[in-house]
Amino acid sequence: MPDSLDEDIPSIHEDRLWRDNGWTASVIKNEDDDGWAVAMTLDGHAEPALVGPWTMGRDKKNPKPLDVSAFNTLVKTASEVLRRHEQHVAAQLHKEVQIEVGGARVTVALDIEPDEENPVATLTATGADGSALAAVRVGPNHQLNRASAQRWAEAGYPRPREE
């Protein structure tokens, strides 16, 4: 995530705090036991993207110091966690099914626009050639599946009743 904001945040390379390349690793006392944990936080985010166990040092009392190799591994893992979370959210906000109408393939999609106070969704039908066949507003709780899409298409793409 290199941008001008990253340049304003100084790098830190300490045993229990490492900040670089838009990420901060903090080694913290594990509240559940006598061990240690590491929290990986993306710059600009309030909550860590990843919290996991951290290795004890040789004295079996203090944590192993952070180093560049461990930090890079943690960045890779935390980035993957964020990527999977974003994919999951995207999958919840966009669903689509393929149906056949009059011998032609039609893609019916439901796109939800999240909003805490007034979320809305759009149901669209697109022909195999990319042509727009229909688009209607529906509630964000609209259930899209092959059967509901087929019924909608066969009825001439009317505005569905609110569910």
Q: What is the pLDDT of residue 162?
A: 55
For the chain, how many residues are written? 163
β-bridge mates for residue 132, sequence order: 126
* In the predicted structure, residue 1 carries a pLDDT above the cut 50: no
CA atoms within 13 A on the CB side of 87: 6
pLDDT more than 90, % of the chain: 69
Residue 15 is encoded by which pair of tokens? Answer: 């045993």
Q: What is the pLDDT of residue 151?
A: 93
Q: What is the mean pLDDT of residues 77-92?
A: 91
Q: Are the beta carbons of 160 and 152 closer than 8 angstroms?
A: yes
Please, which residues have CB within 8 angstroms of residue 92's CB and are 6 or more apart in sequence?
112
β-bridge mates for residue 21, sequence order: none
| pLDDT digits 0-9 by tens, 94-103 | 999 999 999 9
* In the predicted structure, residue 150 carries a pLDDT above the cut 90: yes
Edge-to-edge, what's the strand order for the sheet holding 120-127? 94-101, 104-113, 120-127, 132-138
Q: What is the mean pLDDT of residues 90-114?
A: 92
CA atoms within 13 A on the CB side of 103: 0
Mean pLDDT of the chain: 89
Dist. CA 110–CA 87, nearest whole Å = 16
> Which of 111, 125, 122, 120 minimizes the C-alpha distance to 155?
125
Q: What is the pLDDT of residue 8?
A: 72
For strand 12-13 and strand 17-20, is the pairing parallel, antiparallel, or unpaired? antiparallel
Dist. CA 18–CA 37, nearest whole Å = 14
Confidence band, pLDDT 50/70/90 cuts, at residue 161: low
Q: What is the mean pLDDT of residues 126-140?
A: 93
| pLDDT digits 0-9 by tens, 2-58 | 444 445 778 999 999 999 999 999 999 987 777 899 999 999 999 999 999 999 988
